Each structure stands twice: as structure tokens, then as C-alpha cells.
Amino acid sequence: MSRYTTGLVVRDPSVPAELVELGLPEIGPGQVRVEVRAAGVCHSDLSMINGTLRPPHPLVLGHEAAGVVVETGDRVSRVQVGDHVVLNWQPACRSCWFCEHAQPWLCSTSSGVAALENGMTLDGAPVHVTLGLGAFAEQVVAPERAVIPVPPQLGFDLAALLGCSVLTGSGAVRNTARVQPGETVLVIGLGGVGLSAVAAARAAGAGKVIAVDVTEAKKGLAEAAGATDFLVSSDNLSKEVRGLTSRLGADHAIECVGRASTIRAAWRATRRGGQVTVVGMGAADDMVQLGALDIFSSARTLKASVYGQADTDLEVPALAREVLDGTLNLDHLITDRITLAEIPAAFDRMSRGEGARSVAIL
């Protein structure tokens, strides 16, 4: 008989998300059941309901979470009951072409899956779950490879952030941009991912970290993360950045919004020969237009950073150790601790550009 749990579900894009009772499947071989203790409210969840992405419905929201393993199926070896874990929304299969060529973040088994069924039910019928997890729920059933053990000394609220925002932002700086000491880094968009990128850039020894957002209210958060300069986004952004960089432009621009307009702004604010790293996930029909001559003469590089270009099984535990030893400070990232029922209000704050990360504590 299926167990039951409460989860946040969008039945239809035109109807607000609601807390409902869901049926959990019996776990099978290679699966685990996790009691969710904390779940971060990520912009990708908002994209599932505001039209940026168009997943199937009904849909259980949530993918950035941490919790405790409460049951394991046959042939599970990497965790046991009682382990504290971070959920991984893009677990590597370790056998596809990308995994075998050291690019597990592009795993063909899990990449591009906005939502799928995992045996969870709503009113007795199958329901889709965000990024294979549906983590805005009291409990989830997931493949063994979708959970990553972390030390029990790490708080669940901070652990949850490692599974998406922190890994994505820090990975963009460390793995994709490969920021070097003394370089100038521009970060556009200061949600949880952008602020994580700011902190990682400072930790990498960047000489100047210029943080940009649409509201002056983010200045304090940016400075707490390690920004040396803060700018409010405007049509003059390129000119302002060059004014801070001896008229050159930034060595690196980390775009954490996912819009054509901010990608172009990042491009224009980067020096000749610099690199633009796109982290934000945008809409399929939001086209980025760059002049062919501009591409040639500027010699800039435009790259995407998917899930921080990280091997999650290695880097999530490493990030956890950095938090515990004080190397990585995440305290500034959590601006609201809320309940599952308060997540819709957190989406509203996110839409208005307020705060950094809201984390539901279960």
C-alpha cells in the first residue's frame, strides 16, 4: 500500500499551487525514501509555473532539498537509513557518452527533463514531479544516485542550497569561467545563484567583483557575499562597468538571469577576449542577437554553465566540508525561513526581485 505525504502541486498553470495529499510509491530496487527537512525556493520552480518552461501538469514542485533517508530498497549501497542527504536533480547515469567522457552534468539520461513521473499519485492518478524529484513535499522516493550523503553536522537549510543554487553559482565561477586571482568578475542577477557566484569569485581571488541587480535593495546582500562594487542595472551598464575597469570591461561576466537582454548586457560589458558565462535558464523563444562582426572582432567567448559544470557526487560533499570548516559562508543566502504553505508567497517575492533564498523548513 502506498504511503501518503503532503506536497505542493500545480494542477494547471492558470490555478495557484496548493498543498494536497499525495500517494508515495513502494520503493523498488535501487531506490530510497527521503524525509525532506528543508527545501529551497529556486527560480527554476517559478519558471515551471510562469510560462518560461512548459512542463506537464499536474506537477509537484521543488528540486533543491535536503533530508534524511528513512527507507532503502534492495541493492542500495551508497546510503543507509539515517543518513543525511542532499537531493540531486540531475544524477549522472555514469554510462552514457557524456558521463563516460567526464561531462556528467550533461548526462543524456537526466538532462533536459523538466518533469517526469516517479510513481507518485494525485487523486489516485500519476502525477509529474519537478526535475524527477518533486521536493516540495514531506517525503520523496528517488533513485539511489539522486541522493548525496553529507555530514550530519551540516544544517538541513544550508545543505539544501548545496543541491542547486550554491553548486550552480560556485561551479560557474570555478569550473566554467575558471576565474583567476586578480581578474575582474561581473555578476548579473543576485538571487541565490548569483550571490553564490559572487562569493565564489571573491574566494577565487578576483580583484574586483561587480554585482548587478535591478534593485538597490540587493546591495547589502551583494556586499555580504563579497562584492567590491554594486550597480543597478540600466542601459548604461556597459559604460559603468568600463568606468570601474580602466575602460576595458570585465574579464568575466556571469549571467544569472536567463534573458536575452541580460545576456547581451553581459556581452557588451566584457572586455575583448573575455568570457561570458550564461547560468540563467531562459525561454526557448527568447532569442539572443549578436552581430557577426562583433563576435569576430571582440574575440569574446560565450559559454553556458549547466549545473555548475560539476560532478555532483564529488563537489557537493566538498562544498559541505567548506561550509563546516568556515571556508564557505552561506548565512547571507537565506533571507526567509518559511513553511510549505508559504512557498507561493515566496514565489511572489522572487518575482518582485526581493531577497535571496527562501527555504521551507519541514
For residue 361, give the H/E element and its range. Answer: strand 357-361
Q: Are residues 206 and 338 in the same domain?
A: no
Distance, CA of 117 to CA of 119 (rounded, Å): 6
Q: How far are the Cα atoms of 82, 125, 144, 231 from residue 70, in angstroms, in the given order?
A: 6, 25, 13, 46
- Predicted confidence (pLDDT) per residue in 21-56, tens digit: 999 989 999 999 999 999 999 988 888 888 778 888
- Predicted confidence (pLDDT) per residue in 273-287, tens digit: 999 999 988 888 999
Quote the pLDDT of residue 258. Answer: 92
Angle, CA of 16, 345 and 210, to the nearest 5° = 120
Distance between first and last Cα of the chain:
24
- Does residue 320 lie within any of the structural domains? no
- Does residue 313 lie within any of the structural domains? no
**Three-class SS state of 298:** helix
Distance, CA of 340 to CA of 352 (rounded, Å): 20
Please name the amino acid found at residue 195. Answer: L
Is the distance from CB of 183 to CB of 207 less than 8 angstroms? yes
Q: Are residues 122 and 17 in the same domain?
A: yes
Quote the pLDDT of residue 73. Answer: 95
Q: Are residues 129 and 212 in the same domain?
A: no
- Which ranges of the chain have pLDDT less than 50? 1
Q: Are residues 32 and 108 in the same domain?
A: yes
Residue 334 belongs to what domain range?
A: 3-149+330-361
Distance, CA of 135 to CA of 333 (rounded, Å): 20
Residues facing 230 on adjacent strands? 211
Quote the pLDDT of residue 1. Answer: 39
pTM: 0.92
Quote the pLDDT of residue 284. Answer: 87
Is the distance from CB of 167 to CB of 307 less than 8 angstroms? yes
Q: Are residues 178 and 67 in the same domain?
A: no
